[in-house]
Structure 1
Amino acid sequence: MAGTGAVKTGVSPRPLMQWNTGKLSKEEEKTLAMATEELKDMLQYGHLELADKTMDPGYIQHNPNVPQGREGFKQFMSRVPGRTPREIKTEWVNAPVLTLINGPYSFMMWERTAKDPDDPNREYKWNHFDVVRIENNLIKEHWDEARINPAAPAAGR
């Protein structure tokens, strides 16, 4: 098969990659700090004003329920019930169970429990995740598992 351009099964055509040594680079330390500022300080401790110094004005939001841009993020998150500013502490209110950092990307995952919609006496476990991308020392982009929230039923139906 040499010279035919075919790829051997099980052999990557890409060069070998360097595996993570378990030590974060300076860029990855900054990525972790900025993702923590958004997900812990802004969302868990309610300090949305931090977005003005840490988020790009053109913040890209992949959650279909949250408007685009830094201002859209702040407006949406300020309407979340119970989100009032509290003293920021070093510890998380609800710490992620998994954190992965790769260059400008941060992936954090949390365990959740919810009522079974078919049987309210039972609960099920699921995972929530957030991915944050840093660009030019600002939080530029966010992903999570959210889907479009269903519209509220019309009155009188």
Structure 2
Amino acid sequence: MNRLLPLAALALAFTAQAQAAYTEQEQRNKLTVLEFYEQGLNRKNFEAAAPYLGERYIQHNPNAEDGVEGFRKFVAFLKQRYPDSRSEVEQVFVDGDFVILHVRNTGRVPGEIKSIIDIFRLEQGKIVEHWDSIQTVPEKSANPNGMFLGK
């Protein structure tokens, strides 16, 4: 008998409750970040992503410039250097004005997959700060768990 099934069902129910427990503002923050991510990083369309940014944009990635203009330059860099780059959001977590994404990125280096954790802070519904941590998914793992939920 599989004893994990009831635990999986409980975890699924808890996740659904957690989603339902988001405030209206948290739901808006989640949608703001997801649309910003799609427009800026997948479609590489700065003009479509820019309305989601605040007047200031604090960047903590040491390889990207600070500010809205820094983000514009990053999008232009992606468009020119990695036009096939694609980021698939695997998980989203929201806590007040913080939105955290767990992302699967492909299309930068042939055959290479990156696992990315992006953290965004919003003020008054606009993205004002960003952190990220990026790790290459290895071909072989010391465990069978994978780096993405259920995969």
Shorter-chain TM-score category?
Answer: 0.5 to 0.7
Structure 1, residues 97-133: CA drift from partner, whole Å, max 9, x if none? Answer: 22111111111112458xxxxxxxxx88762111111
Q: Deviations over 1:3-57 (max 9, x none)?
A: xxxxxxxxxxxxxxxxx74312111111111111221121101121134322123
User: Matched residues, percent identical?
Assistant: 24
Partner of 2:19: 22
**Which amino acid is 1:60 matched to?**
I
Return the TM-score normalized by structure 1. 0.61
Residue 37, structure 1, aligned to residue 30, structure 2: no
Q: Residue 83 of structure 1: CA displacement? A: 4.0
Instruction: Single out whichever of 46-55 and 128-137 deviates more from structure 2.
Output: 46-55
- Matched to 1:145, the amino acid is S
Correspondence 1:139 to 2:127? yes
Give yes or no for contact 2:35–2:49 (8 Å, CA) kept in 1. Answer: no
Cα RMSD of the aligned pairs, angstroms, is 2.8
Match of 1:88 in 2: none
Contact 2:117 2:134 in 1 (8 A): no
Q: Which residue does the alignment assign to 1:128?
A: 116
Structure 1 segments unaligned to the other structure (5+ residues): 1-19, 85-92, 114-122, 148-157
Higher helix share: 2
Taking CA–CA contacts closer than 8 Å with sequence separation of 6 or more, which of the two structures ends up with the larger relative contact order?
Answer: 1
Provide the C-alpha distance between the structure 1 equivalents of 2:48 and 2:66, rounded to a whole number of angstroms: 17
Task: Please name the residue that 1:101 is paired with.
Answer: 94
Q: What 5-or-longer segments of structure 2 have no aligned partner? A: 1-16, 136-151
